[in-house]
Each structure stands twice: as structure tokens, then as C-alpha cells.
Amino acid sequence: MTVSLPTPEPGHGGRPPTSPEKARPGVDDLRRVGRWLRESREMIGRVIPEIVEDRLRQHGRVEAAEESFDRLRGEAASLRNELTQLQVEARALRRQLVEIGASASSAVARLTETVRALEEIQHWQPTPRAAEASQEPPPARSRWRLAALAAAGATAALLAVVALMLQSTPIPPVTPAPGPALPQPAAVPPTTDRPSAPEPPAPPEVARLPDKPLTPLRNEIRHFRVVNVSGHEIQVVIDYAYAGDQGTRDVFIHAAALQEGDELRRRVPGTSFPFAPIRVGDGSATISITKQSDTGPSVSTRIKICMVSIRTRAAFVCETFPYTKAWDS
């Protein structure tokens, strides 16, 4: 006896139908691939902003280093110029001292020659007659007067040289030597004949207010203003105060335009990561937020501003301000 098995009916297109047990693995594979795609999108959304921010931090550090190098180079050039000027002045003063010494030497030599010439003239004068000998001699114009004139000229020249040398040397103040105290005159008792003058009234006491304690400077973002430049750009002017506790270098202020939702994932697509360096004390910074890529129109409702330290790789002050901006595509 022969039993015939039932043949499956052909499905659509002449193919035999597929059983649910055989079609189940394909559905699981599709779900698994979809889950992988969603997880990959979320991971990329978290990793790419961190990579871009790290790149911007490195760029800021390089710019700060270049600014420091330019400042130090300018200071070195100014110090070099000052050193050159001082060297020129020192050479000029040395030349003046040499000229003054040469002038003094020539003056002394001329006075010496004049004295010698006068001595020779006096030596070759004829002797006076006997009649003239009884007369009174004229006033003496002897060599002593000439020698005194020569000594006076030499002394004047030396004093001029010493005075020029003392112009560049500060003279310390003269302190009197300690000695015995001078006796003070004894107080004369008032006489009883004339009445004593009335004492002047004491000045009224003025109440002094206590000194107001100084308020220490703290890190804060005080105010911001927004200038709507175009549909793809806005400028944010930020007033801040920085106490300097994070150092004086590699400290920046950062601004971002956010949509509704999570701050990290709801940044306006295509906007940049702008920043500006800050200094210790009260200051103001201008940051331009630009939409760079064509990602379609969007609307931001908040602006988040943070002070960031590259040394600690963290934001130490953050403030979020409401501001609505319609971005063009």
C-alpha cells in the first residue's frame, strides 16, 4: 500500500511559502542591526564633540604660546634698545671726561709756560741805579702771584672734573653724629600779675565710620549681550570677573547655542565651538557663534557660557541664559 505525501501549494511567484520558524532569524538580524546603528549614532554623537573640543583646546594653547613668545620677543627687543642707548650714553660721558682732562692739562701747561716766561723776563731786567735805589720799590708782582694764579687754575680744572664725576653718583644724606644732648632752657613760671589766657576749646570729636571690608574677587559671569549679525551668525558680548585661581594662562570663556533638550546632544547642528582668552580681574569678551555647515533650519532657545581651564580640562563656572534665535539653513 502506497501513501502519497501532500505537496505544499506554491506561493506568490511560484515559490513555496516560507515557514515562520525559518523567517525568524532574519527578523532578529534586522533588529540587531538597527540596535547597532542606534548605539553607533549615540556613540558618535558623544565622541565627536569631545574630539572637536580637545582640538580647540590644543589650538588655544598653541595661540597662547605664540602670544607669549611674541610678547617676550618684544620685551627682549626693548631691553636690547635700552642697553644700546645706555652704552652710547656711557661712551659719550667717557669722551666728555677725556676732553675735560685734556683741557685741564693744556691749561696747566700754558700757565706753567707763562710763569717761566715771566721769570726769564724778570731775570734779564737791568739793575736799578743808586738814585732809584733810594726810592720805594713798586708793588711786588713777583713769581708768588703767578704761582698762585697757576695753582688756582689747576684747582678749578680739578674741581670741574670732580663735579662731572659726582653728577652720576648719588650723594647719601648726611646724618648728624650722635653727641651729648643740648641743655633745654628751664620753663619760666607764669607771673601772677597778668591774668592767664583762656584755654582754647577742644575740637569736637568726629565719629569715624568703620572701614568697609574689601570684597574678594570671585569667578562669575555677570552679564551678556547678543548682536544678531545674520541668519548664520550671532555675536555674544560677555562681562565677567576672574579671580585668577585657575592660573593666568590657558583659561578661556566658551559660548554655545542650545536647542530644547539635553545640552550635549541639543547643540545647534553645524555651529562652531568659539572661545576667547580671559584675564584676571573684571573684563569683557566678544565671541561669534557661526553656523558653518548646511544642516537645515533650526531654532535655539538658550545660550550657555562657561569658563574653561585647559590645565584641569574642566569648566569651573557655567551660566545659561535664555535667548531665542532662528538659524537659517
- Domain final residue pick, 137, 168, 199: 168
Q: Are residues 280 and 159 in the same domain?
A: no
Same domain for 276 and 163: no
Three cell numbers written together for 256: 554655545
For residues 31 and 149, state if they share a domain.
Answer: yes
Give pTM, 2 decimals.
0.37
Is residue 203 assigned to a domain? no
48 and 156, same structural domain? yes
Cell numbers describing residue 95: 669722551
Residue 54 sits in the same domain as residue 118: yes
**233 and 312 housed in the same domain:** yes
Stretch (H or E) spanning 326: strand 314-327
Rounded-to-integer distance, Cα 309 and Cα 253, Å: 9
329 contacts 294 by C-beta, under 8 angstroms: yes
Tell me: do 162 and 246 sit in the same domain. Answer: no
Range of the domain at 74: 25-124+145-168
Position 268 scores a pLDDT of: 82
Q: Under a CB-based contact definition with an 8 Å cutoff, are residues 235 and 226 in contact?
A: yes
Where do the DSSP E strands lie in 25-110? none
Report the amino acid identity of residue 98.
Answer: V
Residue 138 lies inside a defined structural domain of this protein = no
CATH of the domain at 265: 2.60.40.10
Q: Which of 168, 201, 230 is the last residue of a domain?
A: 168
Give the per-residue pLDDT at 180.
Answer: 47
**Distance of CA 106 to CAs 60, 100, 115, 150, Å?**
69, 10, 14, 12
C-alpha cell, 160: 670741574
Q: Is 158 contained in some domain?
A: yes
What DSSP line would sit under 86-97, residue for residue?
HHHHHHHHHHHH
The span from the CA of 256 to the CA of 327, in Å, is 13
Q: Are residues 164 and 57 in the same domain?
A: yes
Which among 107, 133, 168 is the end of a domain? 168
**Within a domain: residue 209?**
no
Residues 156 and 224 in one domain: no
Q: How many domains does the chain have?
A: 2
In a domain, 103, yes or no: yes
Do residues 153 and 33 share a domain?
yes
Question: What was the pLDDT predicted at 173?
Answer: 47
Is 86 domain-assigned? yes
Task: Please classify residue 240 by burial: count the beta carbons closer than 10 Å to its beta carbon, then call 0-12 exposed, 13-18 middle and 19+ buried.
Answer: buried
Where the chain has pLDDT below 70, the residues are: 1-25, 125-214, 262-265, 293
Task: Judge whether 318 lies within some domain.
Answer: yes
Same domain? For 312 and 227 the reply is yes
Q: Which residues pair with 282 in a beta bridge?
A: 241
- 40 and 149 share one domain: yes
| pLDDT at res. 154 | 67
Residue 2: inside a domain: no
